[in-house]
Amino acid sequence: MAAGDERTRRITLISGSARTDGHTGALVAYLSGKLGARAQHVDLSTLTVAPFDYARHDDRDDFRSVVTMMLESQDIVFATPVYWYAMSAPLKAFFDRLTDLLLDPVDRTSGRALAGRSVWLLATGADRSMPPGFEVPFKRTARYFRMVWRQSFYVEWINGAPLPPAGRAEMDKLANLIIAL
């Protein structure tokens, strides 16, 4: 596949914000616009992802459809606001459910098939920088599934302010890095 081949290279943007129209959503929309038709956006706040349960692997929710989208993509961008120094609850629930890809015999093939995909992180928050250790679950999850950890991007955003120029610049940088692969 040629670098930046829009017909074949797919990118899944998985947004874990509790507010679709919040800061994280604005950055994801901007990034999606930069990536064009190759990008597909998953807004976890509009889906149902049941909590992980060792006794049950729920096939009545949207978890597997999101995994399918990930499998159709070469790049996966996890986007989340920083809530209490950690990823958002919707994204954490999704990460917990990744355990299904380890325990459920039907889903193990999907878990193995994630290998080689690039993983990126987009985080927003009110602090000047990302909290120490914030990237750890993303990096380790990528490593566990033999995906390729690429890079994280953090945008400081003050409530009520418009999309900051630094945020646009970071999304331009992220889009260019993805397209260049």
Task: Name the percent of the chain lying above pLDDT 90.
Answer: 75
Q: Is 71 helix (H, G, I), strand (E, B) or coil?
A: helix
**Segment holding 105, helix H or strand E:** helix 105-113
- Residue-wise pLDDT tens digits, 105-130: 888 999 999 999 999 999 999 999 99
Among 127, 115, 153, CA closest to 30: 153
Model confidence, pTM: 0.92
Task: Name the percent of the chain lying above pLDDT 70.
Answer: 94
Q: What secondary structure letter does DSSP report for 56? A: B
